[in-house]
Structure 1
Amino acid sequence: MQGSVFKEFSERTQSFLQVKTEVFFKINQLQEVFMKKFLGILGIILFIFGCGSNIKPEDHEALKNKNGELEKALAEKQKESETLQEEINQLKLQMQKISDEKTALENELKSEKETYSANMAEMQGKMEENEKLYSQNALKNPNISKNQEEIDKKNKEVESLKKDMNQLKDSLSKSLNEQKKLLADEIAKLKSQLKENEAKTQEALNKSKSVESQAEAIKKQIQEKEAMMNELNQKIAKLAEEGEKKLKEKDEEISKINQVYTQLVDELKQEIDKKEITITKLKDKLTIQVLNQVVFASGKASVTKEGEKVLQSVAKILQDVKDKQIFVEGHTDDLPIVSSIASQFPTNWELSAARAISVVRFFQNQGIDPKLLAAVGYGEFKPIVPNDTMENRKLNRRVEIVLLPMINKTEESTSEERSDTKKNEPIEKEKIEKLIENQKLEKSN
């Protein structure tokens, strides 16, 4: 019975031997119980030997009671072994401590083995001595043989306990070796995992640094783009303001041109009806075409009396125009200069230029600011119709008075800026398109 109890205990605790303190504590408890029961049996034997033939029936009864107590104690130990199973389950939580306790466990186990061997040797010696004393006393006292069967039974139990203890010792040693191997494997596995985790941690750290670098670069790009957008918005606002201002100025210029046009049409209605004068306007440009025959005699560059009347009517209206550039352009047909005037006007260029200058001088004499006046001769090189008929040649022989908006230095600078802006438009457009594309990508990410 006792052997089966220890065997069951050994089987239940075999897989949990790595927890050194608790297991050896239970082993020590079993050893103490064993020693107590052994000493109890030894006491009974000594009692029997000491009493000799004076053993009374009540002493036999006490011996039986003692034996019953032993069996009861063993039953309690069996119950304790079941309780031990529950305690061992709790000990699983302490398995992580085994790595630190392994060396101490091996040293203590060695010490326990030596102590156990010494105790067993001492017990064996006492048992042999007791058996010898028993044999000697049996010869002297025949009555003791009545308890031989009971004593033999107890001896068998003791032998069974010894056997169980030896099995438990072997099992402990085997389980410890297995546990050491498992621990070594687990430690190697943990080291491998630690190395792998360190590599992953380093990789994550590198990625984190890369992400931080990318974030910083993106932040810088955003700042640059915001600065670019602010600059573009300022340019747009400035251009819008300038455009609105220019539009207003254009409207005023067109209004003035329309006013001049109306005045000229009213003043020169008779000549217009005769188709000697043509007045055209295009937005802020006004052109007065006067046929040469109205202003000049054939081959001459001086203004005729009739021409002065017409030009006076024009000058009267142009005197109030202070913000327009007045260009006087001379034009001829493609017929060559006749020999009689070739010395004065070698080509149609000279003739057309001289006629334009005559009109400019006349306007100046009429009080028009000379700073607004300019003369140019185109000769036969800007016909309005082909020079293939007499009628067409008549139309091409003309003086054109062209009114255009004044171009001052500020406007020239603005014009240059516009030219530069146009040159930069593809670059700015490309930047804007790239900015929009990047913003789309950022939103999608």
Structure 2
Amino acid sequence: MRRRVMNGVRALRTPILLALCGLAPIGCVSTETHTKTLTELSAANKKAAQQAAELEALRKQSEAQAQQLKQQLAGLQQNLDQEASQRKAAESSLSQLRSEIQQLQQQADALAREREALKTRSEDLQAKLDGLEREKSQLNGELGDVRNQIKDLEDKLASGSATAQSEIAKLQGRAKELESESARVAAALEAERQRLKAEEADKARLAKEQEQLAASLERERERLRAEEAEKARLAREQEQLAASLEQERQRLKAEAAEKARLEKERAAKEEEIKRLTRTQEELSRSLRDEIEKGNITIQQVRDRLTINMVDRVLFDSGQAVIKPAGVKVLKQVGDVLKNVTDKQIRIEGHTDNVPISVKLQDKFKTNWELSTARATTVVRYLIDHGGVDRQSLLAVGYAETHPIASNDTEEGRSSNRRIEIVLYPKDLQQITGKLDGGAPVN
């Protein structure tokens, strides 16, 4: 970039020096003019170098930012991958927990069924036990009756009755049968009681196991809820990371687009300066005679070109009508400016601080009217006879408000009475668009 700017400055300096010295038929210009021109070129050179350094620093900064953004993007992608792995592991753990809870629920259901069966069986055993108790009570009643009968028979035996003796023997046999049956019923009753006790113990054990399973099931449900909450948190974090990643991508894309836009504008600016330099060279060749006389100076600073004409070149004193010699000069200027389509052209009228004379005040009340009339006259000539696009032209009268020298001397006042033609850029985006695919700009 800097090399291109330096080459442009050298290209600018060469035709000016040739116009000032080498091509002049009547010799070189004054040392003062030469020195002033070299000073302006040196200043333009330094400014171009500074702008080139700034552009290079901006390019390096953009590259560093782009690299940093790429690293951040890679880090975010890695975090997103880790979160996805954690989420996958959590989903696997959650699935396993659901399977374990389902198994525990099945076990709890089986225990509940077994407990219900034991309850039914316990009720059957209790009914059977109650029946045995009733049978025992009945047998005890019968045994009491038999014993009473035996006592009665013993009483009869004591009285010596043989029939009673036989009856006693029968009753004693019956009593033994009843005692044996009572013992059997008592043993069965004790066995049923022991079995019922065992059943109650099993029932209590099953109830305890069911409580343990219920507690374990509740713990698993709590863990499942915690896993669900963790899964939701991971999903939210993944969404946030994805949003951040997309944000970084968009920002990186915007940075790249901005970098491309700046590069495009820089290229357009360089091309614009090159075209302006060619315009300056053409004007210097065309107006060489007036430049050598000191009546016209041309100065280019980056993307602005100023043609400074002392008023005597175009107008007589106090007049706003172009004189014949001025028409010739303006025709040469118009031949160059009509080919300039990428610049706004401002015609500026300037005067010294001497008030308008009384005899001219019926035409121009103040220097404002005179400077504006002269600028408008030049614009009208460039449109009507120079072929310059009217959309590019602008007329401005500054009177004595923009002096370039002191008004205390005649020489200074002569310098301040001038017409300046200033070429400055139009919208840079329009220029960039033309470089992209529009018609070439001359």
Q: TM-score, normalised by structure 1?
A: 0.47
Q: TM-score, normalised by structure 2?
A: 0.47
Q: Relative CO higher for 1 or 2, CA cutoff 8 Å, sep ≥ 6?
A: 2
Q: Which has the larger radius of gyration?
A: 1
